[in-house]
Amino acid sequence: MLQKANLKNWVKPLLAHATMTLLIVLAANPSLWWLSIVDLVIHFSVDRVKASPKMLNRFGIDNKFFWWSLGVDQMAHHLTHYFIIYMILKGV
């Protein structure tokens, strides 16, 4: 989590993630290109809240809230991906 709190080194990995989502969506159904933007916004928002020293990253690894925030973070990412998969399979 400390790396995500770094203000300089988070943009490229996040953009790489969004680019991969875009490539997958374009291969499956180009009309759903906007899902990559949804993924980017949700991924950015969840990670910034989790990694911010003023928010959820203020808890140490010994604190139960650290593990709760990690679980909620991963759940949000998975639910976003499940939504993208659903939309692709639905063929909207």
pLDDT single digits (tens) 58-72: 777 787 888 888 888
Q: Calculate mean pLDDT across residues 46-65.
A: 75
Mean pLDDT of all residues in 40-57: 79
The residue behind tokens 């690894």 is: 61
Residues 6+ apart with CB under 8 A from 46: 73, 76, 77
Q: What is the pLDDT of residue 1?
A: 44
The count of residues in the chain is 92
- Angstrom CA distances, 90 to 12, 33, 71, stand at 31, 15, 28
Higher pLDDT among residues 6 and 75, named by residue: 75
| Confidence at residue 47, expressed as pLDDT on a 0 to 100 scale | 80
pTM of the model: 0.76
Return d(Cα 91, Cα 63) in angstroms, integer: 43
